[in-house]
Chains A and B, each alone.
Chain A
Amino acid sequence: CAFFVTVVDLIHFEHHPVTEANSIMISITGNCLSLTQPLYFTSVETLMGILSLSVLPPPPPPPTVSIFVSMSSSADIISTVEFNHTGELLATGDKGGRVVIFQREPESKTEPFSQGEYNVYSTFQSHEPEFDYLKSLEIEEKINKIRWLPQQNAAHFLLSTNDKTIKLWKVSERDKRPEGYNLKDEEGRIKDISTVTSLQVPVLKPMDLMVEVSPRRVFANAHTYHVNSISVNSDYETYMSADDLRINLWHLDITDRSFNIVDIKPANMEDLTEVITAAEFHPHHCNLFVYSSSKGTLRLCDMREAALCDKHSKLFEEPEDPSARSFFSEIISSVSDVKFSHSGRYLLTRDYLTAKVWDLNMESKPLETYQVHDYLRSKLCSLYENDCIFDKFECAWNGSDSVIMTGAYNNFFRMFDRNTKRDVTLEASRESSKPRAVLKPRRVCAAGGKRRKDDISVDSLDFTKKILHTAWHPNENIIAIAATNNLYIFQDKLNSEMH
């Protein structure tokens, strides 16, 4: 029977990060026994059920239970965001190795101006923490990148990777199930043959939609260093994975072999001067790919030239300004993300303070340079001390390659219009993001400078709130912003089409 108790004291609460089990010890008022054994539960509802079964009923009426258990943890931090090729699906990966897929609801006919919103479509555990016994290393389950394959049949396929292993997942829907088996009954139990008098043909009956996710391929043991990028080739047969020193080429159907196409590991590790930070295939030319380095250079490689693409076809490098050297010059010039434009003509790169657009035909310097948060230049020392200077911000193109977007601190993200040269700073926060509200542009003013209303001073920026991962819908003005463990999806309803 159900009853209520008063929880007097939360003695102990523990959330196990790997098994996700929670245990709680509480003491209860009244004349009942006090609970000293830990109760294991996975949700608050289950806990209430267990309590109601195991505690003896106390005499007089205590008030209702209030158990507040915080369930969110650092495992919920979103680590990657990616739209699929049509924009119908949006996948996020988090630090706990989970993938959540959102699907856009089809536009409602009754409300033609209310465009589809995104709802959770499927959730699954992609990677688990592993332990490399040979090197005594724990391998994090954090999802570093997700890339969708172009859709070829009813099912969707995506690649997800942690530091060491890439997996291919099949996401499919099931909305019918067969009924009317001869040998099994509806619960699956084997029927007594003697009761079967006639044969029937099983028929497919509709059922509640179920989304099934299954691992189709596991591409493991190919990387000694931490995988930072994966990129699907436009041939739809191969893809590449890049770690700090090497890039491997895989065939999507073959898991026991991969080809090494770039290797920048020096013969003597003491001579190491740069690492690979990101890599991507050209959107149209299946033989071209680009990789960025920690020194701020980009290398375009042609797989037709040689089996091993250590020698680049093009090297994109902006000469360093010698007067601007500081202790942290090398850190802030390290490229954290590189993206081809949809046209394939341009490259977008992000380093710590700027975003740059490069023309593939000009190697000597970028076409455009955008200052994302130059006010941080005088704060590099403290950003180094608190490790923020190592944050890796991603960048994104819009569908028509006219606007670029990237994240910053204080949950700010910035968009730069390449044609009008206008830029805007917006904030992803619960307060400012009521449904249907218009985002208000924000401004950061230098410390001590003239301050307008609603401006925020550099010194009051919250560096723990950083937007590292952003994605832009391939066709429409819809953006997905990951702010720590919250996902914001903003839609520009006025200008839904790209221009």
Chain B
Amino acid sequence: MINTMECAVDAQSLISISLMKIHNSRTQRGGIKLHKNLLVSYVLRNARQVYIKEKYAEIYRMQQYEEVMTVCNEIQQLNPLELDAEDADDEEQARAACCGEDVSLCGSACHRDAAHTRTASALPGCSHLEYDGKEPEPSFYRSCCMEASPVSECDQFSANGRAHCNKTTVLDLDTHVVTTVENGYLHQDCCCDALQCGQGAQSPAKKRKVEFACCVSDVEELSDFTAARKRVKREDCSYTHPDYTDTSNISNLISIFGSGFSGLLSRQTDLEQICSKQVLASLGAWTRAIVAF
């Protein structure tokens, strides 16, 4: 159980800071320092654990709210004319109850979606829950902190995002052997982040952006400097000016990072085990990470 009391910075910021360090280490003189990057990855893992716990607590609260809303709506259906006013009140109270503390997180999205589409909307920074009648997708859970994509955009892309990008290329610096490993499905983040990088991109452009977003995954793996260098040149997104608050691009890295350093993943708590299995099952990230041996 990680004690977060003494830390002045919250988990999400720590994740951003850590990824920044890993990114900067690629350009440091003397090559990538294995020891330092390993320690940073431990901080990343710890921060992610805390973040996931916090978010799942949030989801649980949202679930409770959702149940309340379902009941409210059923009542409304029974008596649409009379109970509108009451219903509105109930909704307000229910909303206030669960969203009160975290207005900044889920407030607006909650209100909008719960009222109209009966969807508990994206928790900014993390899982994108869709309780749509059409697609109750557990595959939308993920262990990442994604910046809140506006719901509409994600909906738009959810239908499109079904490509297969699932390779891990590994270069062993000792033997100079390159091996390629196949992984899971496309990660939803790629599409959403591709959108952030270039609004409304067409398919060839989108493919390029997706490639970018996933190439950035090199960052948190201990990448071969050569390969990393080549990829850096192709980056044209706002990633060239990252700062600690630029979580939108960094969030993509986190999602991909879930597949790296699996030695760390094996030491997860139970809670994380449950959601991680779902996450990893659907984690079809472009994990074309070059791991330095």
Contact = CB atoms under 8 A, between A and B. Distances in A.
Interface of A: 135-140, 142, 163, 224-226, 244-245, 265-266, 268-275, 277, 294, 322-331, 334, 377-378, 380-382, 384-385, 387, 390
Contact of A326 (B4, B17, B35): B4
27 contacts: A135-B31, A135-B173, A135-B225, A138-B30, A138-B31, A139-B30, A226-B30, A226-B34, A245-B34, A265-B293, A268-B262, A269-B292, A269-B293, A277-B35, A294-B38, A324-B3, A325-B1, A326-B6, A326-B7, A327-B4, A327-B14, A329-B2, A377-B6, A378-B6, A381-B6, A384-B17, A387-B21
Nearest to A129: B29
A212 to B, nearest CB: 30
Interface in B28-87: 29-31, 33-36, 38-39, 42-43, 46-47, 50
A225 B34 contact: yes
Given A273-B264, A381-B14, A384-B14, 7 more contacts: A163-B30, A226-B33, A265-B293, A268-B262, A273-B38, A330-B39, A380-B6
Contacts of B35: 226, 244, 275, 277, 294, 334
A93 to B, nearest CB: 15
B236 interface: no
B131 interface: no
Contacts, number: 117
Given A224-B173, A270-B291, A330-B39, A136 B3 contact: no
Nearest to B29: A138
Given A269-B292, A272-B261, A135 B17 contact: no
Nearest to B36: A390
B43 A275 contact: no
- Of all A-B residue pairs in the complex, the 10 with the closest CB atoms, nearest first, are A330-B42, A271-B263, A140-B30, A137-B31, A136-B226, A244-B34, A327-B46, A273-B263, A381-B7, A331-B39
A331 to B, nearest CB: 5
Nearest to A377: B6
Nearest to A330: B42
Contacts of A244: 34-35
Nearest to A226: B33
Nearest to B43: A327
Interface string B228-266: 010000000000000000000000000000001111100
A327 to B, nearest CB: 5
B29 A385 contact: no
Nearest to B17: A385
Nearest to A162: B30
Contacts of B159: none
Contacts of B38: 272-275, 294
A144 to B, nearest CB: 11
A135 B226 contact: yes
B211 interface: no
B91 interface: no
A380 B42 CA distance: 14
Contacts of B42: 330-331
Contacts of B225: 135-137
Contacts of A325: 1-3
A382 B4 contact: no
Contacts of A225: 34
Interface in B79-107: none
B274 interface: no
A100 B292 CA distance: 35
Q: Which of B11, B36, B170 has the most CB of A within 10 A?
A: B36
Nearest to B265: A270
